[in-house]
Amino acid sequence: MIRSEQDFKNLYLQATQEWSKVESSMDPVMTVGTATCGRSAGSLEVLEALQNSFKTCSINGSIIEVGCIGLCYNEPLVTIIKNSRPAVFYGKINPKRAKELVEQHVLGDHPIPEYALGSLGEEKIKGIPRFFDTSTLKPQVRKILKKCGIIDPTNLLHYVAHDGYNGLMRAMKLHPTQIIEELKSAGLRGRGGAGFPTGMKWEFAVGQKAERKYIVCNADEGDPGAFMNRSVLESDPHAVLEGMLIAGYTIGAEEGYIYCRAEYPLALERLRIALRQAEDMGFIGDGILGTDLNFHIKIKEGAGAFVCGEETALIASIEGRRGMPTTRPPYPAISGLWGMPTIINNVETLASVSLLFQNSPEWFAQHGTERSKGTKTFSLAGKVRNTGLIEVPLGITLRQIIFDIGGGIPNDREFKAVQTGGPSGGCIPKDLLDTPVDYDSLKAAGSIMGSGGLVVMDEDTCMVDVARYFLDFTRKESCGECVPCRLGTKQMLDILNDITGGNGTTEDIDLLAELAEGVKLGSLCGLGQTAPNPVLTTIRYFRDEYEAHVKEKRCPARVCKALIYYRIIPEKCIGCQSCFKICPVNAINGEPKKVHVIDVETCIRCGLCYSSCPVKGNAIEIIPGLPEKVEV
């Protein structure tokens, strides 16, 4: 139990010793990334293989499970730390390779450059680049992600050894008004999407006189295509708890809630472990650090509703009601949970608060732009080579993110657009690739920063289909409370279904834009107010695609099923019958070694034949437009 500053100093000493067991142990240490993405790529099997090899070779060393370092495209990731050499990161490790690593690098001291992604530290190993010099890592500034994938998220001492809870120690010596001042001078803006200044938000709640106050951590990362918060929760959960403690101390709240979506079982598990540890250590509970400060945290599992990312809906959900928003004002900082002043901050905002107080406002503000300070995490996904979790200084351009860090578009395809901000954001086209990533520039481009999802799209992505996809999402997730959102999204979706289904007219495009403006203006909460953004930005930047759909009945990206057809190229077909066998509706005729033919009338355009064709360059082509009726 930490009861005084001296106790904390002793804990820090103990923590640095614990960490040195990883960093400079005489025995070899291996780490395996076992966050959700690592697990889905098979890291638990790798972990087992490593444990077995350690046993059979009777190696005196340890294997630690860590979180996510962000290089998802290289999962499963393994690190080998040996005292004599710099640590080496290895990617795409399977059980067989794991065994090789143990035999050659751990036992034999011969790193395997072929599997290596990079080395840590100054010293260089032949054939292996320095990790932070690689093109993916170089433009990044890792602050929030610094510990992710490096420390064991279930070991409190690892966190403390990296200045963990030092931010709380420092904040508790400050007066709440000084804390607000530091937040303001650092220029921290909410990382959940809207970018509201955190200092100002807290200040509202400080000024309130109330029986109770609450801190809520919004971990309901609902944007499809975003996973930054999941990674932070799985890899560095104490950072979020510490941020909540600082917030609680500042506004005088004694209770906190973490509202985390149930779809993140591992994040929930690691949060629960961290919470118990912090309670046992005396960081959370009654009489924190020997003062009269009390703070308790409860974890609430979300039950699957996108709208609950909206503050007032989230409050309703915690209270056990349907997650429906209410009008603001009053803002939750004045009247929130159970009618009491409540501060709701996103996971990354709270993790940033911890870092800010572990360091200083100047440290925080050294990166970023005039009005968008600091660094921001993004999940980079879609049609990009290096998918994963990244952290960059605000103000970096989209081009740098997609082409330098992301490595560009795979399979020699052309970049078409990047979607930021999820269903509330928009699609930004090629000629705006040099837009700096900050709150205001993205807004000017018709999109929003959002919580940090970046989905890259290439020439094979149909922008009308993307708009339809998002509208389908928001229509399903609309809570139904206000008319513009409930009916407006439905009508917009109907029009988009008509267009992608081949029944659109030229007037539909303008009608859609008009409806979109109405929904934007008339909706009660952020969900409805931003739902039209994907439609509006795609009409603004990709009107030609809409026109091809309605005028020429052609889907240029070859996605919308009603506006494409499949054909076998006779010169390329080898008559292997792969497509013939896989076709679920028997639309393909053909005998072995003879050219096959697709019957376009029977074909349901499922695309299985296309994905099964073994011919190099594919013997099946997808043709935009309606099939010509003449062929018999």
Partner 1 sequence: MDRRMESIFAKYSGMQEEIIPLLQSVQEEYGYIPEETMLEIARFIKVPESKVYGAATFYAQFRFTPMGENRVMVCRGTACHVKGAPMILEEIERELNISEGETTADGKYSLETVACIGCCSLAPCIMINKKVEANMTPKKLAKIFKKGGKNDTE
Binding site for partner 1 (CB under 8 A): 36-37, 39-41, 72-73, 75, 221-227, 230, 262-265, 300-301, 303-306, 317-324, 379-383, 387-389, 419, 422, 453, 455, 457, 461, 466, 469-470, 473, 477, 479, 582, 584, 606-608, 611-612
CB of 427 closer than 8 Å to CB of 537: yes
Q: Which residue has the tokens 């809520």?
A: 216
Q: How far is the CB of 471 from partner 1 (least distance, A)?
A: 12
Q: Which is nearer to partner 1, 180 or 417 (CB)?
A: 417
Residue closer to partner 1 by CB (options 265, 330) is: 265
* Beta carbon of residue 199, minimum distance to partner 1 (angstroms, whole number): 30
Helices (H), 478-623: 483-500, 506-522, 526-530, 533-551, 578-582, 608-612
Contact 407, 380 (CB under 8 A): no
Instruction: Identify the bridge partners of residue 491 per DSSP, sorted by sequence position.
Output: none
Q: Residue 305 Cβ, how far from partner 1 at the closest point, in Å?
A: 5
Residue that is written with structure tokens 């100054």 in the block: 122
Q: CA 91, CA 136: separation in Å to the nearest integer?
A: 14
Q: What are phi and psi of 621, to 5 degrees?
A: -120, 150
Q: How many residues does the chain have?
A: 632
Min dist CB 268 to partner 1, Å, is 11
Query: Cα–Cα distance between 286 and 300 in angstroms, integer?
Result: 21
Judged by CB, which is closer to partner 1: 356, or 620? 620
DSSP three-state, residue 576: coil
**Type of residue found at 8:** F
Tokens for 545, please give them.
């695609």
Minimum distance from CB of 191 to partner 1 (Å)? 17
Q: Which is nearer to partner 1, 165 or 473 (CB)?
A: 473
Residue with Cβ nearer partner 1 (111 or 429): 429
Nearer to partner 1, 8 or 542 (CB): 542
Residue among 249 and 546 whose Cβ is closer to partner 1: 546
CA 238, 241, 243: angle at the middle one, nearest 5?
110
- Closer to partner 1 by Cβ: residue 207 or 614: 614
Question: In angstroms, what is the minimal distance from the CB of 541 to partner 1?
Answer: 16
Tell me the three-class secondary structure of 112-151, residue by residue.
Answer: CCCCEEEECCCCCECCECEHHHCCCCCCCCCCCCCCCCCC
The Cα 411–Cα 470 span in angstroms is 26
Report in angstroms how near the CB of residue 105 gets to partner 1 at its nearest: 26
Whether the Cβ atoms of residue 563 and residue 461 lie closer than 8 Å to each other: no
Least distance CB 18 / partner 1 (angstroms): 30
Min CB(455)–partner 1 separation in Å: 5
Cβ closest to partner 1, residue 22 vs residue 35: 35
- Asked if the peptide bond before residue 329 counts as cis, ω within 30 degrees of 0, the response is yes
Which two structure tokens, joined as six digits, stand for 571?
């010169």
Q: Is-contact 360 179, C-beta < 8 A?
A: no
CB of 517 to partner 1, least distance (A): 24
Q: Which is nearer to partner 1, 200 or 606 (CB)?
A: 606
DSSP class of residue 414 equals P
Q: What are phi and psi of 302, to 5 degrees?
A: -70, 160
